[in-house]
C-alpha cells in the first residue's frame, strides 16, 4: 500500500512541476536569491564572530607616555605595572617601534607615512591583562601619575566594531525576511495554480473519500522541492563566489575574515532547512483555502 502511495505522490508532484514550468522557475529563483543572502549572513556572522573572538584575546591596554617623561619615571611605571596582580605581561614600545607599526598599518597611504616621523609618535607600555575586564582597576591605579599621557583600552574599539556589525546584521536580516516572504508567496502562487489545474481531480478525490493529507501531500512536496532546489543552488553559488569575498575582504585583512570553501559549505548548510521551511510554509499558504473539507 505504501509503495502505491509513494508512486502516486511522485507521479502527481512531477506532473505539477512540469505543468507550471515558468512560474516554478520564478519561485525557485526567488528562493535562490533569498537563500543566497541568508547564507551570506550566516557565513559572514561566522567569520566576524571568529575574528572578534580572536581579536578580543589579543587586546591590550596601551599606556601612552608623555613626551617629556624621564627614563627613571618610565622605569618606575614599568615596575609598578609588572607588580600589579591583574597584569599578565608588560612590553615596552619605543617611538621607533611605534613608527614601524604605523608604517605597516598605513602602508597603502604613503602620503601619511611620509608626513609622519618616529618622533611624533608616543612611547607606550603594552599591557596584557589576566582578565580584560579589569581594565578599570589598572586605569584607576595609574590615573594622575606624572608622565602618563593617556590610558587606552583597545576593547573600546572592538565594542564599537561589534555594534556596527550588529546593526549591519539586523539590516540584513530585515531585508532577507522580506525576500523570504516574497519567496513563500510565489511558491504559494505556484501551488494555487497547480491546484487550479487539478481542480477536477481534487473534487473527485474528495468525493470518493481521499483524505485531506493524501490530497495535500503532492502539493506540499512540490513546494518543498522548490524551496530545497532554490536553497541547494544558493549554497552552490555561495561556495562558488568565495573568490569574490576574498577580494572584497582584502582591505580588512587585519581582522582575519577569510573563510575556506568547506567553512562556507558548513555554515550555509542551514539555508537548506530554511529553503525546505519556505517551501512547506508557501505550499500551506497556497493550500489554505483548501484546508476545509
Partner 1 sequence: MIRTVNVSKIYRGGIPALHDISIDILKSEFVFLVGPSGSGKSTLIRLMLREELPTSGEIYVAGKNINQLASWKVPMLRRNIGCVFQDFKLLPNKTVFENVGFALEVIGRPREFIAKAVPEVLELVGLGDKIDRLPDQLSGGEQQRVSIARAFVNRPQILLADEPTGNLDPSTSVDIMKLLDRINRTGTTVVMATHDHAIVDAMRRRVIELENGTVLRDQERGVYGYAREE
* C-alpha–C-alpha distance, residues 131 and 122, integer Å: 26
Cβ nearer to partner 1, comparing 185 with 202: 202
* Least spacing, CB of residue 188 vs partner 1, in Å: 22
Say if residues 180 and 34 touch (Cβ distance below 8 Å). yes
Minimum CB separation of residue 281 from partner 1 in Å reads 22
Nearer to partner 1, 196 or 261 (CB): 196
- CB closer to partner 1 out of 19 and 128: 19
Tell me which residues touch partner 1 (CB under 8 A): 1, 4-5, 8, 200-201, 203-212, 214-215, 292-293
**Cβ-based nearer residue to partner 1, 15 or 116:** 15
**Least spacing, CB of residue 47 vs partner 1, in Å:** 48
Which stretches of the chain are DSSP H helices? 2-19, 21-58, 71-83, 95-105, 110-114, 135-142, 155-197, 199-208, 212-240, 242-248, 261-268, 270-287
* Minimum gap (Å) between residue 25 Cβ and partner 1: 24
Backbone dihedral angles phi then psi of residue 131, each to the nearest 5 degrees:
-125, 115
CB 74 within 8 A of CB 142: no
Q: What's the closest the beta carbon of residue 207 comes to partner 1, in angstroms?
A: 5
d(CA 277, CA 80): 60
CB of 244 or CB of 291, closer to partner 1: 291
Strand partners, 104: none
Amino acid at each position: 500500500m505504501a509503495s502505491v502511495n509513494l508512486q502516486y505522490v511522485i507521479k502527481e508532484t512531477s506532473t505539477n512541476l512540469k505543468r507550471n514550468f515558468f512560474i516554478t522557475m520564478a519561485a525557485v529563483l526567488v528562493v535562490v536569491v533569498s537563500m543566497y543572502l541568508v547564507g551570506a549572513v550566516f557565513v559572514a556572522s561566522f567569520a566576524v564572530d571568529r575574528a572578534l573572538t580572536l581579536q578580543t584575546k589579543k587586546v591590550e591596554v596601551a599606556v601612552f607616555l608623555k613626551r617629556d617623561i624621564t627614563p627613571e619615571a618610565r622605569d618606575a611605571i614599568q615596575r609598578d605595572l609588572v607588580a600589579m596582580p591583574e597584569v599578565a605581561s608588560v612590553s615596552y614600545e619605543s617611538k621607533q617601534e611605534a613608527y614601524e607599526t604605523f608604517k605597516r598599518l598605513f602602508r597603502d597611504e604613503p602620503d601619511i607615512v611620509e608626513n609622519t616621523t618616529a618622533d611624533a609618535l608616543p612611547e607606550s607600555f603594552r599591557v596584557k591583562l589576566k582578565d580584560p575586564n579589569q581594565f578599570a582597576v589598572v586605569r584607576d591605579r595609574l590615573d594622575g601619575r606624572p608622565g602618563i599621557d593617556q590610558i587606552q583600552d583597545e576593547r573600546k574599539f572592538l565594542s564599537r566594531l561589534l555594534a556596527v556589525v550588529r546593526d549591519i546584521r539586523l539590516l540584513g536580516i530585515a531585508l532577507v525576511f522580506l525576500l523570504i516572504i516574497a519567496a513563500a508567496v510565489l511558491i504559494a502562487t505556484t501551488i494555487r495554480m497547480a491546484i487550479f489545474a487539478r481542480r477536477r481531480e481534487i473534487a473527485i478525490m474528495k468525493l470518493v473519500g481521499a483524505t485531506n493529507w493524501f490530497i495535500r501531500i503532492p502539493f506540499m512536496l512540490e513546494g518543498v522541492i522548490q524551496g530545497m532546489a532554490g536553497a541547494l543552488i544558493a549554497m552552490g553559488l555561495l561556495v562558488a563566489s568565495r573568490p569574490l569575498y576574498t577580494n572584497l575582504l582584502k582591505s580588512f585583512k587585519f581582522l582575519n575574515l577569510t573563510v575556506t570553501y568547506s567553512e562556507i559549505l558548513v555554515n550555509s548548510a542551514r539555508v537548506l532547512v530554511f529553503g525546505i521551511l519556505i517551501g512547506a510554509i508557501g505550499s500551506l499558504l497556497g493550500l489554505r483555502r483548501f484546508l476545509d473539507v
